[in-house]
Amino acid sequence: MAYLIFNENDLYKIASSDEKVHMNIEDVFYNVKTVSDSDFDNVRKNKKSAKMSGDTIVYEDIVTSFVDEESLQKHINEIVAQLEMFLDSNPDNPMFSNLETYKNVLLSQDLSSITYPLNKTWEEYCVENSITYYSPLQIP
């Protein structure tokens, strides 16, 4: 079981059933929708975006390509910045250790060894290379 968490019509966060309890999300303030593992994975891998239209979730394909190392580095830097904001403020959160490990993995990646253009999402690259990853939407 997995969840997409909306703030009005916009996707705010995503969570697996294990992660949802650590997200500090109150259902009264957010629209929490249960989704299939497949839909969750597509959003988690940044292959699809999601929005609410009335009471229905609408998915749209996202086309991602990193033309060079610099563009991928910029993307990774954005994820690291989000991770650092969380880690600096939430040392007692049960997800802290896993997210700290992911941050260290990001910082240690040799992006020069990747063939560009990289015509997939960073998250798809992680799956193909057995790298444990978290979508920025999974960061509490």
Tokens of 110: 């040799």
Angstrom distance (rounded) from CA 14 to CA 84: 19
Sheet holding 48-53, edge to edge: 31-35, 2-7, 10-16, 48-53, 56-61
Average pLDDT for 98-118: 96
Angstrom distance (rounded) from CA 97 to CA 118: 29
What digits encode the pLDDT tens for the residues 23-44?
777 767 888 999 999 999 999 9
pLDDT at 21 over 80: no
Mean pLDDT (the chain, rounded): 93
What digits encode the pLDDT tens for the residues 118-132?
999 999 999 999 999
Angstrom distance (rounded) from CA 48 to CA 39: 8
pLDDT at 18 over 90: no
pLDDT at 55 over 80: yes
> Which one, of 36, 39, 84, lies nearest residue 59 by Cα?
39
Where do the structural domains in the chain lie, given as residue ranges?
2-61, 69-138
In the prediction, which pLDDT does 27 show? 67
Angstrom distance (rounded) from CA 124 to CA 131: 10
Tokens of 32: 């929490």
Give the chain's length.
Answer: 140
Whole-prediction pTM: 0.88
